Structure 1
């Protein structure tokens, strides 16, 4: 597959080798050379053809999985996801959820900055050196009651953000108004106990339970749009999910 897709690896480039491979496969997917349902060659075969190590290919495929372009299937390997698999209107934020349930959520911006992304944020969003992001912290209330403390990093080449808009509208609502097509959201849900700062802002007891969520939103081209790290008061919000067994 590597030769037929013209994946070119430049070992002198500062771009990591795994990212070069992922970019080459991503370009083929977007161009239609690898339509939905296509199987990728095994990591071992790709590594041999490209004269790279198998761990490098494993990391490249994992990047495509995290971008929502490829899925790993037992007995099949890596397979391209159909581009229509996740329509943007089906991806809702906490703000969207609250409106859908008939509530009237409000947001208070606790901090806001537009700054050069640090190395961790650049890696998470696949940004180049010197790229800038919006970084902000919001307190979400429903019925006047604090419900969530939300920290976000958003790339600045897709939207213009300010404190006023973030207090009057949800982040995903703003992104959609700028024509951003959110196709995939990778989320990791966990739990923690409130530290002194979180307890004070959320009007909860220090050490009380919080539901946590780490999130990365991705557009139709596999571009990573934003990172979210949220903490929810445990007795005020629940996550509902439906799991479907793949064919």
Structure 2
């Protein structure tokens, strides 16, 4: 069991809760925020409400209010029956066309992939249209769980055009799929249209990711092509407690809008 880490003994007025114009819960929140950012590694348990109330000479209601705000901000997380812990830092998820394997290696993490399913099935109409398939024409359906340093981060459920990737189930689908496509089919995905939404985890996805049903997920649907030919329609469910999305926005206007600000 991890040892509870207590913030350093107050050494100045900035480490004490005092009477004044700033509400006590706000003062305590900032004290805890500094401790989280400077002293406590991710996953560290913080003292109980009672201990914090005694330490800073405030009511437990004040402590509860301060902690609740830090939970809302994503700096703390509550585990029922276990206590309150510093949250795991989110990984920045930038929107570019890169394989999960390459992305994790770039971050200095060890990627791993579990193949959960691969077979030929009739895709839903939306996917058939995206891949240029006739209605009810079978495609390859691929389901994989992705890990980094042993932690499950994402579940991928994808569809692949059977004529573009014949024999897909025979490949090593626990390695980088994009590398496999390049090696075996000379396919290099060079364009994609991606949408992002938020979603509450259903029971099956929650089980695969080691989270609770209803926990937040970031969901990405990506239709990828190689030299203008659609190959992949994949949806990925990423843990919301592990990722945040970063986008670079430039002040440009599409040509069809006439260029007016």
TM-score by length of 1: 0.57
The alpha-carbon distance between structure 1 residues 115 and 206, as it changes in their structure 2 partners (threshold 3 A), is: closer
| Secondary structure, aligned partner of 1:227 | strand
Q: Which residue matches 1:103?
A: 109
Q: Is 2:156 the counterpart of 1:150?
A: yes
Q: Which residue matches 1:165?
A: 172
The alpha-carbon distance between structure 1 residues 240 and 94, as it changes in their structure 2 partners (threshold 3 A), is: farther
Offset of residue 127 of structure 1: 1.7
Q: Is 2:178 the counterpart of 1:190?
A: no
Q: 1:157-236 to 2 correspondence within 5 Å?
A: 157-159=163-165, 160-162=167-169, 165-167=172-174, 169-177=175-183, 178-220=185-227, 222-236=228-242
> Are the aligned partners of 2:216 and 2:240 in contact in 1 as well (CA < 8 Å)?
yes
| Secondary structure, aligned partner of 2:244 | coil
The one of 100, 117, 139 aligned to 1:94: 100
Structure 2 residue ranges without an equivalent (≥5): 1-95, 254-261
Q: Which residue matches 1:43?
A: none
Q: 1:3-22 to 2 correspondence within 5 Å?
A: none
Structure 1 residue ranges without an equivalent (≥5): 1-89
In the aligned structure 1, how far is the partner of 2:203 from the partner of 2:225?
33
Moved more, 173-182 or 184-193: 173-182
Offset of residue 155 of structure 1: 0.7
Offset of residue 130 of structure 1: 6.3
Offset of residue 144 of structure 1: 1.1
Q: CA deviation digits over 1:79-114, x for unaligned, max 9?
A: xxxxxxxxxxx7312222112212111111112112
Moved more, 188-197 or 118-127: 118-127
The alpha-carbon distance between structure 1 residues 179 and 211, as it changes in their structure 2 partners (threshold 3 A), is: same
The alpha-carbon distance between structure 1 residues 101 and 208, as it changes in their structure 2 partners (threshold 3 A), is: same
In the aligned structure 2, how far is the partner of 1:216 from the partner of 1:182?
10
Counting matched residue pairs gives: 156
Please say which structure displays the higher CA radius of gyration.
Answer: 2
In the aligned structure 1, how far is the partner of 2:180 from the partner of 2:194?
20
In the aligned structure 2, how far is the partner of 1:181 from the partner of 1:170?
12
> Are the aligned partners of 1:109 and 1:163 in contact in 2 as well (CA < 8 Å)?
no
